[in-house]
Amino acid sequence: MPSAPSSPRRAAIVGANRIPFARSNGAYARASNQDMLTAALDGLVARFGLAGERLGEVASGAVLKHSRDFNLTREAVLGSRLSAATPTYDLQQACGTSLQTTLQVANKIALGQIESGVASGVDTTSDAPIEVNDDLRRVLLAANRAKSTAGVVKALAGLRPGQIVPEIPANKEPRTGMSMGEHAAQTAAAWGISRTAQDEITVASHQHLAAAYDRGFFDDLLTPYLGLTKDNNLRADSTLEGLAKLKPVFRPAGYPDTEATMTAANSTPLTDGAATVLLASDEWAAERNLPVLAHFVDAETAAVDYVHGDEGLLMAPTYAVPRLLERNGLTLQDFDFYEFHEAFASTILATFAAWEDPIFCKERLGLDGPLGTFDKTKLNVAGSSLATGHPFAATGARIVPTLAKLLHEKSQRDGTAGRGLISICAAGGQGVVAILEA
Amino acid sequence: MSNDWYSDFVNSGFGKSIAGTVGLPPVPRLRRYEPGQPLLSGPALLGTATASGRVAKVVRSLLTDLGVEVHEDPQAPVGGGSSTSKVAAGIVDATGLSSPADLAAIQGFLTPVMRRVGPSGRILVIGDVPGEAGAPSVRAARRALEGLVRSAAKEARYGATVNLVHVADGAENDIESTLRFFLSSRSAFVDGQRLEVGTVPGFAGSSQGVDWDKPLAGRTAVVTGAARGIGATVAKTLRRDGATVICVDVPAAGDALARTANDVGGSALQLDITADHAPATLLDHAQRHGGLDVVVHNAGITRDKLLANQDRDRWNSVIDVNLNAQLAINDALLASDVFHRGGRIVTVSSMAGIAGNRGQTAYGASKAGVIGMVDATAPLLVEKDATINAVAPGFIETDMTAAMPVGTREAGRRLSSMTQGGLPIDVAETIAWFAQGASYAVNGQVLRVDGQNYLGA
């Protein structure tokens, strides 16, 4: 048993497994979060021969979660082929969930607290929890508290027809009542993001993902599930002309003169899926002759005041990245790959625009000059969320291994080290960004 | 489990009486191997055809070491019973034949044995290799054994098998794993077959210290096409015998593959074996387990079409998966230290590659090609103390055969000496035996596992 190192070591990304992502109410309509997470874990166990092994921990989480799933990750591990002695916990940070679980597991490995761990995330919008509304809930709880039959009858006398309407989880911010798409449409309008630029990002995402599948990139990152062998949101034949025909779906409130630009194609669809990443110390990997694809270098989480502070809901990564760069003595241009979660094509374009804007960089980010631009041919080269779909909590654990494998391929090919940047925006005005190296 | 309604019927109480009355052919329940099972379930009769027989003492020594009651007289009372009491096996050392006249001694021994051998009993004839004989009368006598065995196999009842092993001159002390295979219930569906031991010169290996309950202990095996069917059973059988198993299948079958890999506590490798990088990827993955000892080329596809309707793409896909991929992987194995000294390659041919099958020109060609590959690769492997052998399954009960038309399926089952289809485990047992380190003298062989199907000789 190695002792805790005096200075932190870097956690290794050994490999990964996810199930194909499925558009909502489709292939995985009857699969629960626990089903999907268990399947993804079992695929990971099989890939790395971990049946019966006790890992340091499994950290996972879901955004849309039934109350009975309070111990979702633990239940999934108990149903998986991992040793039941593997501890777990649930974590939830909206779309940043599984980049945050990666950060947690990586940090524990870095500190020598654990030697191995799985970071993951899962989400279903098909098997979503439906609750009774607050009125009905209060009546039922009052009836439950009543100590006499008369009391129960009295409490139930408060029942009204309107209480039958259930609470269905909605993709909207509790403090603004606006959907995420409506928020993003405002940001796009504020930054003057064009429809064409968004559609170009979208087409590139689909084409890159299709090419990655064609070259077998996902053969050791993915295991089929319930008849799906690929993400079923993928449209390999997507073209700018085709996308131009779609009607916008989100209007930017407060920008009456601005054309709506966000469509069902350049916004991510509701998606079901699960993803896992295996992290470990270099020693743990070496003992098992397992590969090290890349190392987890550093990460930063930011939050913005989108309620009162005049900042876009999904703009937190714009703040997180410069802080991460400064801490690591890097510039925005110092990366070989850029993996930006495409919540909406407009979101990453607004982020890029902000970094090129001297006023924003000075006033909001406190920088001397603009962060600048970077070579966009290095952006999402194996496709991203617009093509794969976006099961909220699973996206980080999709992106981390994608980047790790890209870096590994580069180092195998060129014999040179590489570095990549990950950026994920999240509901609630938060964002998680990270650096990997190989 | 069984979808063989006829077998279920004639083995039921009512069915048995009907079948007996009207003369329906019985379908014996075959004894199959379970860990810890004794080699034989009863006494054995061991005969010798000539005074110069060279294998009887090896056989006797093995059987007595295992505590088996052995008698030389085929009419000996056994197990405290009478001269007609059932025996578990009849073995005849038929080496040293000098002319066809010597065959009479074999007849004299086997005639009572045929009456005494019990359900799932074993009759094993061990002879010299015909090709090693110069004189016509000697070679004729040696070759005659084949006709005797194949015919006797068609007469044997209640799941008893009759097989022939040709032992090369000087290899008589290298037959233990072969004896154990043919005498045990691991060979339940191998009937009327012939196998050579020690015929590829230069072999090396040992049976010393083998744990016969875990004959693959410490060995790492790769099984292609392991997601389901015969491949999944092979993976489980190799694991049962002690191997660490790498399970390979196409990415699209990854979910079933993960289940197999986790069932055997091995690892899953999603890989299209026809890809250019496949051999390198396979060897790379094997290094996780410290290298490879056993490679089972099980992956195969059918794209059945009458030759008159065949097209190039379907043809090529069958040849690529069933033959070219194996050739490419074998080349890589021969060139790499990742494939250990003493390694074993086992490949899956088919009855269709021997006898041909309507609608299966591509499949039949690929599976016959596999036999050619085995012939040519066997001598190349000698320098690594390695071997290559093929199993040629006949009608094996799988999802594929369950989907056949009833007539074809029933013909496939009944037109064999066992009057039933085999199970995936029967193929897997044969592969696991080829894979043993102790099978070092078995090289370049093709063994049919088909219950002596009447298709093909």
Q: What pLDDT shows up at residue A8?
A: 85
C-alpha span between A326 and A424 (Å, rounded): 19
C-alpha span between B326 and B317 (Å, rounded): 13
Q: What pLDDT shows up at residue A7?
A: 67
Q: What pLDDT shows up at residue A160?
A: 85
Best residue of B220, B244, B262, B282 to probe chain A, by most A CBs closer than 10 Å? B262
Partners of A231 on chain B (C-beta within 8 Å) are none
C-alpha span between B349 and B298 (Å, rounded): 9
Instruction: Decide: helix, strand or coil at residue B300.
Output: coil
Residue B334 exposed, middle or buried by CB count within 10 Å (0-12, 13-18, 19+): middle
For chain B, the structural domain boundaries read 1-29, 31-197, 220-449
Partners of A290 on chain B (C-beta within 8 Å) are 288
Tens digit of pLDDT for each residue in A326-367? 999 999 999 999 999 999 999 999 999 999 999 999 999 999
- Mean pLDDT, residues B136-150: 97
Angle between helices B278-286 and B325-335 in degrees, nearest 10: 50
Task: Give alpha helix (H) positions in A296-382.
Answer: 316-328, 345-356, 358-363
Q: What pLDDT shows up at residue A5?
A: 46
Q: What pLDDT shows up at residue A3?
A: 53
C-alpha span between A304 and A312 (Å, rounded): 8
- A180-216+296-437, what's its fold? Peroxisomal Thiolase; Chain A, domain 1 (3.40.47)
3-state secondary structure B211-240: CCCCCCCCCEEEEECCCCHHHHHHHHHHHH
**CA dihedral sign, ordered B161, B146, B351, B258:** positive
C-alpha span between A331 and A340 (Å, rounded): 16
Measure CB to CB from residue A220 to each of B270, B287, B289 and give the nearest one.
B270
Tokens of A44: 């990971």
Closest-approach residue (CA) in chain A for B281: A220
B439 pLDDT higher than 90: yes
| Rounded alpha-carbon distances, angstroms, from residue A149 to A137, A138, A144, A146 | 19, 18, 11, 8
A132 pLDDT higher than 90: no
Cα–Cα–Cα angle for A279, A281, A285, nearest 5°? 80
Reported CATH class of domain B31-197: alpha beta
User: Is B287's CB within 8 Å of A229's CB?
Assistant: no
Give residue B113's pLDDT band: very low, low, confident or very high (50, 70, 90). Answer: very high
User: Is A46's CB within 8 Å of B271's CB?
Assistant: no
Q: Which amino acid is at B183?
A: L
- Mean pLDDT, residues B123-130: 98
Give me the residues paired with residue A433 across strands. Answer: A300, A423
Tell me which residue has tokens 């290794």: A12
Tens digit of pLDDT for each residue in B378-426? 999 999 999 999 999 999 999 878 888 888 888 888 889 999 999 999 9
| Rounded alpha-carbon distances, angstroms, from residue A323 to A302, A371, B284, B328, B357 | 9, 11, 40, 52, 70
C-alpha span between A203 and A209 (Å, rounded): 10
* Rg value, chain B, Cα: 22
> Could you tell me which of A5, A125, A87, A104 has the C-alpha nearest to residue A434?
A104
> Could you tell me which of B108, B292, B132 has the C-alpha nearest to residue B197?
B132
Partners of A229 on chain B (C-beta within 8 Å) are 251-252, 254
Measure CB to CB from residue A224 to each of B255, B265, B272 and give the nearest one.
B255
Tens digit of pLDDT for each residue in A67-88? 899 999 999 999 999 999 999 9
Among A46-60, A313-327, B313-327, B350-364, the least confident range: B350-364
Q: What pLDDT shows up at residue B157?
A: 93
Partners of A31 on chain B (C-beta within 8 Å) are none
- Mean pLDDT, residues A153-166: 84
Helix (H) or strand (E) holding A251: none
Best residue of B267, B271, B285 to probe chain A, by most A CBs closer than 10 Å? B267
Tens digit of pLDDT for each residue in A215-258? 999 999 999 999 999 999 999 999 999 999 999 999 899 998 89
- Region label for B269, one of left (φ > 0), alpha (ψ between -120 and 50) or beta (otherwise): beta
Give me the residues paired with residue B246 across strands. Answer: B222, B267
Partners of B289 on chain A (C-beta within 8 Å) are 49, 289
Give residue B10's pLDDT band: very low, low, confident or very high (50, 70, 90). Answer: confident
Best residue of B223, B264, B270 to probe chain A, by most A CBs closer than 10 Å? B270
The sheet that has B267-270: what strands, in order across it?
B267-270, B244-249, B220-224, B292-297, B339-348, B387-393, B446-449
Residue A403 exposed, middle or buried by CB count within 10 Å (0-12, 13-18, 19+): buried
- Mean pLDDT, residues B83-105: 96
- Mean pLDDT, residues B291-315: 96
User: Is A51's CB within 8 Å of B289's CB?
Assistant: no
**Against a cut of 0.95, is the pTM above it?**
no
- Mean pLDDT, residues B75-87: 91
For chain A, the structural domain boundaries read 134-164, 180-216+296-437
Q: Which amino acid is at A332?
A: L
Q: What pLDDT shows up at residue A336?
A: 98
| Helix, strand, coil shares, percent, chain A, to 5 | 40, 20, 45
- How far is B83 from chain A, CA to nearest CA, in Å? 54
- B220-449, what's its fold? Rossmann fold (3.40.50)
**Same fold? B31-197, B220-449:** yes
Measure CB to CB from residue A225 to each of B247, B255, B269 and give the nearest one.
B255
B455 pLDDT higher than 80: no
Our answer to whether residue A95 is catalytic in this structure is yes
| B272 touches A at CB < 8 Å | yes
Give me the total of CB pairs closer than 8 Å, taking one residue from chain A and one from chain B. Answer: 69
Our answer to whether residue A361 is catalytic in this structure is no
Mean pLDDT over the full length of chain A? 94
| Rounded alpha-carbon distances, angstroms, from residue B222 to A159, B167, B345, B397 | 65, 29, 10, 23
| B288 touches A at CB < 8 Å | yes
A291 pLDDT higher than 60: yes
- Mean pLDDT, residues A190-207: 97
Q: What dihedral do alpha carbons B131, B136, B139, B141 form, nearest 10°?
A: 170
Cα–Cα–Cα angle for A301, A170, A423, nearest 5°? 25
User: Is B267's CB within 8 Å of A225's CB?
Assistant: no
Written as one string, the DSSP assignment of A81-140 is SS-TT--EEE--BTBTHHHHHHHHHHHHHHTTS-SEEEEEEEE-SSS---B--HHHHHHH
Closest-approach residue (CA) in chain B for A285: B288
- Mean pLDDT, residues B340-355: 96
Please tell me which residue in A183, A208, A408, A425 is annotated as part of the active site. Answer: A425
Partners of B271 on chain A (C-beta within 8 Å) are 219
Closest-approach residue (CA) in chain B for A215: B275
**Percentage with pLDDT > 70 across chain B:** 99
> Could you tell me which of B241, B378, B232 has the C-alpha nearest to residue B299?
B232
Q: Are strands A419-426 and A337-340 parallel, antiparallel or unpaired?
A: parallel
Our answer to whether residue A390 is catalytic in this structure is yes
Among A103-107, A197-201, A306-310, B389-393, the least confident range: A306-310
User: Is A223's CB within 8 Å of B255's CB?
Assistant: yes
Q: What pLDDT shows up at residue A114?
A: 98
> Could you tell me which of A319, A294, A289 has the C-alpha nearest to residue A304?
A319
Best residue of A42, A47, A53, A215 to probe chain B, by most B CBs closer than 10 Å? A47
A35: CB partners within 8 A, 6+ apart: none
Global ipTM:
0.89
| Rounded alpha-carbon distances, angstroms, from residue B241 to A109, A167, B87 | 37, 56, 28
| Rounded alpha-carbon distances, angstroms, from residue B40 to A59, A118, B85, B173, B394 | 53, 49, 15, 21, 25
Q: What pLDDT shows up at residue B456?
A: 60
A399: CB partners within 8 A, 6+ apart: A99, A339, A341, A384, A422, A424
Tokens of B3: 């979808």
Q: What pLDDT shows up at residue A367?
A: 96
C-alpha span between A310 and A316 (Å, rounded): 12
> Could you tell me which of B144, B117, B114, B143 has the C-alpha nearest to residue B129?
B143
Helix (H) or strand (E) holding A180: helix A180-190
Q: What pLDDT shows up at residue A163?
A: 82
Closest-approach residue (CA) in chain A for B254: A223
Give residue B351's pLDDT band: very low, low, confident or very high (50, 70, 90). Answer: very high
| B280 touches A at CB < 8 Å | no
Please tell me which residue in A95, A183, A295, A341 is annotated as part of the active site. Answer: A95
C-alpha span between A121 and A272 (Å, rounded): 11
User: Is B262's CB within 8 Å of A81's CB?
Assistant: yes
Give me the residues paired with residue B68 across strands. Answer: none
Partners of B257 on chain A (C-beta within 8 Å) are 46, 223
